[in-house]
Structure 1
Amino acid sequence: MTSTLDVGDAELAYADTGSGHPVVWLHGSGPGATGMSNFGGNLPAFQDFRNIVVDLPGWGNSPRPDTDEPLIFHAADRVVRALETFGIERTHLVGNSYGGAVAMRIAMRYPGLVDRIVLMAPGGVLPADAPPWPVGLEHLFGYMAAEKPSRDAMAKFVRLMVFDETLATEDLIDERYESSLRAHPELPIPPNFGDLTPDLRLIGAPTLLVWGRDDQTVPLSWAPRILHGIPNAELRVLPDCRHWVQYERAPEFNHIVREFLQGGIAATEG
């Protein structure tokens, strides 16, 4: 069940489950993405944390604002306003793809708010030779550009997100397709996400990068720029896995992330 929060010039839909040290979960920018579609299957393993799962502006049940600001920058500030409303003074951040970029932006601008960060193949940092785009981003941008995208286009997109295509179930494709029609983003292609590269050094929080070795959307070859740009970053690479690490390799992901976040709590309390 999601609720809606007024953050001044925008409304954010969110789910709030569990209790304990806060964790904010930030989803990717793929068509039909929502906070719960990205992370709902992981939350049962994290019920000893307070899990705030956000629909970022323009996705899910959060309306798209009228802004010329880069999407990453705009979303980060609205998430921070939500946390201020909740009275949260310090939190972990877990972000997938676009949501990972939003998490990095929050850590750059509001370092006192952030305990530890988990980033799954985050966006916001491009190699010097992009474009051309990886095949996953080509399909994402193509879907966004279509006046009325087809279910077949969604099926192709979802299959690119996983190494094991049996995980691209008909139910999952239907769910993502129907969600994309309710909140189809009206964006320039490629969207103006914003560039975080110059400020990576400002991220002081311990950071865990998690990557699927076979990612065809934000490829592993893009990881070193982030790994070496963030002073306190480490990288875990999962084989036989593409972009949706938290979905395709959920048990390993849950274990890795819990271990990392619990270290954050111990460090904070110690």
Structure 2
Amino acid sequence: MQVAKCGLSYQATGSNDNDFGLILIHGWGCRHSDYDLVLQRLQAEKVVDYRIITLDLPGHGQTPSTLLPKPSMTGFADLVLQLSKEVGLERIMLAGHSMGVRIALESWRLSLNQTNPMPSILGIILLDGSNYTLRPSLFAFDKGDTRSSNLTEAEKNALRAEAFNKMFSDLTPKSFRESTLANIASMDQVYSQAVRESMISYDREQMEATLQLLGKESEPPVLNVQSTDIGADNQRVPMSEGEVSRWMGYLGERVERVRQEVVTGCGHFPQVDRPDLTARLIHEFVREVRS
């Protein structure tokens, strides 16, 4: 791992022969290593002639929360753009998982309004996204939920772990389950909750306008890779071939230039549960957009 001048810890792999790169953004409570299995598949492809950047957002992995004491999706997105510029990328594609979906979308929006030259975003890849306005409720450990005030911190931590457990599937490697749960338990829970609040606020206050703008601009193209829908109990439910999730419908109504792919038989982490298929979808989309 390297530390950029902007403060983000990151890992760079792939070819340095051109100024194009793929930025992989993890979700809430996660780390750059969520993409390790996909990276292995992409690196095995002899035709991958671009840089691939994975990173730890503030308060996650090796990047301290002090880098962005008041977390927000906009603040995270700005750091992603700073990192892209710092490593010399002029053209990028962004892939975001879960919370990273918001950061990828916000990075694109910010890139339109920067006074300083920023990398050109050629495409956006969304991995198992959602929007909290489409959910039946918050989680009991969320500050905005009425149940939260009656819970101890230990109870909230247990509920966070339970929520993650339900995002895994039979395909999720045991090592990933254990390391993810250990990582969740070790995080600064005050900061982690502030990150969740900013994510939920983004869904309620900013995402609609961003997607409407993306649909109006018709650029860049979007690939949405969906593996779950949200059930009546607020938990993620694996999808079957041909299903259309609430998020897929919401996204498709607002962004015409979106390709939607359902990855079946796995949980909330398609990049972990089905890395071969996820890597292939990502690489084919990158190749298509660059051609």
What is the TM-score when the length of structure 1 is the normalising length?
0.80
Residue aligned with 2:109, SS: helix
Match of 2:137 among 129, 132, 139: 132
Match of 1:34 in 2: 31
Match of 1:176 in 2: 180
**Deviation of 1:80 (Å):** 0.8
Q: Which amino acid aligns with 1:200?
A: L
**Deviation of 1:181 (Å):** 4.0
**Deviation of 1:154 (Å):** 6.5
Q: Which amino acid aligns with 1:208?
A: L
Q: 1:151 to 1:108 in 2, by over 3 A?
A: closer
Match of 1:45 in 2: 41
Match of 1:19 among 12, 15, 18: 15
Looking at structure 1, the residues matched to 173 and 258 of structure 2 have their Cα atoms a distance apart, in angstroms, of 31
**Deviation of 1:222 (Å):** 2.3
Q: Deviations over 1:85-125 (max 9, x none)?
A: 112111111110111110011112215621111101225x4
Match of 2:270 among 245, 248, 260: 245
Match of 2:210 among 199, 213, 220: 199
Structure 1 unaligned blocks of 5 or more = none
Aligned positions of 1:125-164 closer than 5 A: 125-127=131-133, 130-133=135-138, 147-148=153-154, 156-164=162-170
Kindly report the root-mean-square deviation, in angstroms, between the aligned alpha carbons of the 2 structures: 3.0
Match of 1:167 in 2: 172
Residues 168 and 177, structure 2, Cα contact 8 Å, conserved in 1? no
**Deviation of 1:132 (Å):** 1.1
Looking at structure 1, the residues matched to 27 and 195 of structure 2 have their Cα atoms a distance apart, in angstroms, of 16
Q: Which amino acid aligns with 1:191?
A: E
Residue aligned with 1:40, SS: helix
Looking at structure 2, the residues matched to 163 and 190 of structure 1 have their Cα atoms a distance apart, in angstroms, of 23
Q: Which amino acid aligns with 2:220?
A: A
Q: How many residues align?
A: 250
Q: Which amino acid aligns with 1:201?
A: Q
Q: Which amino acid aligns with 1:255?
A: R
Q: Deviations over 1:54-96 (max 9, x none)?
A: 1111111111145446x21110001111112112111111110
Match of 2:258 in 1: 233
Looking at structure 2, the residues matched to 199 and 44 of structure 1 have their Cα atoms a distance apart, in angstroms, of 33
Q: Which amino acid aligns with 2:129?
A: P
Q: 1:226 to 1:218 in 2, by over 3 A?
A: farther
Structure 2 unaligned blocks of 5 or more = 113-118, 239-244
Residues 77 and 106, structure 2, Cα contact 8 Å, conserved in 1? yes
Match of 1:55 in 2: 56
Match of 1:77 in 2: 78
Match of 1:90 in 2: 91
Looking at structure 2, the residues matched to 121 and 146 of structure 1 have their Cα atoms a distance apart, in angstroms, of 30
